[in-house]
């Protein structure tokens, strides 16, 4: 299987080329944010406030890293179940969020937003947080430090291994897998 190498911020022409089932290596800067941070994002937007990060063309990794061991930039940083943020994601996608990383299926509402606004959902391997951490070159807390591991962090990553789960064409790797199995 060929591996596509992509760099953040994600350009629309790159997203248009990505197809469900493809393996990618992602490099550049991404942001971590789980459900508590997403809730705060939406609360801020509802109050007319700016987000603590520029969302346009960016990638959010649904992850709450463990503390870094001495000499490491981050602890284990595996994906969180993405459905936990499905209620918040369509708003951020409509504002220009181009990529999301997590594990598990997305709601139809999120898949519709991905298709409408040309975004992409990547799957990271659950249970591989220690291995994934080796792709992180730097990490810094950007917002909501009081949330501990759920604070928003900016990560610099190199060759973060991912699969395209939902593409802009309405395809879903989980649905395709079930269909193949039923044959």
Q: How far apart are CA 180 and CA 100, in angstroms?
A: 25
Output b/e per residue, 53-66; b: 16+ Cβ within 10 A. bebeebbbbbbbbe
Predicted confidence at residue 134, as pLDDT, reads 95
Q: How far apart are CA 20 and CA 143, in angstroms?
A: 32
Three-state SS for 161? strand
Q: How far is CA 1 from CA 4, 21, 164, in A?
A: 10, 10, 13
Predicted confidence at residue 87, as pLDDT, reads 98
Predicted confidence at residue 22, as pLDDT, reads 97
Per run of 10 residues, the mean pLDDT along the chain (length 183 residues) is: 92 96 98 97 97 97 92 93 97 98 97 98 92 95 95 98 97 86 71
- Residue 176's domain spans which residues? 3-182
Contact 113, 89 (CB under 8 A): yes
Residue 95: CATH number of its domain? 3.20.130.10
Predicted confidence at residue 155, as pLDDT, reads 98
Domain count, the chain: 1
Closest CA to 11 of 60, 57, 63: 57
Q: How far apart are CA 114 and CA 120, in angstroms?
A: 6
């Amino acid at each position: 299987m060929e591996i596509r190498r992509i760099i953040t911020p994600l350009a629309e022409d790159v997203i248009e080329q990505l197809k469900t089932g493809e393996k990618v290596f992602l490099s550049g800067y991404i942001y971590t944010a789980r459900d508590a941070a997403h809730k705060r994002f939406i609360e801020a937007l509802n109050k007319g406030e700016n987000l603590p990060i520029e969302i346009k063309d960016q990638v959010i990794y649904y992850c709450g890293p463990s503390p870094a061991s001495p000499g490491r930039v981050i602890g284990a940083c595996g994906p969180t179940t993405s459905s936990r943020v499905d209620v918040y994601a369509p708003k951020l996608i409509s504002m220009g969020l181009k990529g999301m990383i997590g594990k598990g299926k997305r709601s139809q509402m999120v898949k519709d937003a991905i298709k409408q606004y040309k975004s992409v959902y990547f799957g990271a391997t659950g249970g591989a947080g220690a291995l994934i951490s080796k792709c992180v070159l730097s990490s810094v807390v950007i917002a909501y430090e009081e949330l501990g591991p759920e604070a928003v962090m900016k990560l610099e990553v190199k060759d973060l291994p991912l699969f395209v789960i939902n593409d802009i064409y309405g395809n879903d790797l989980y649905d395709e897998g079930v269909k193949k199995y039923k044959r």
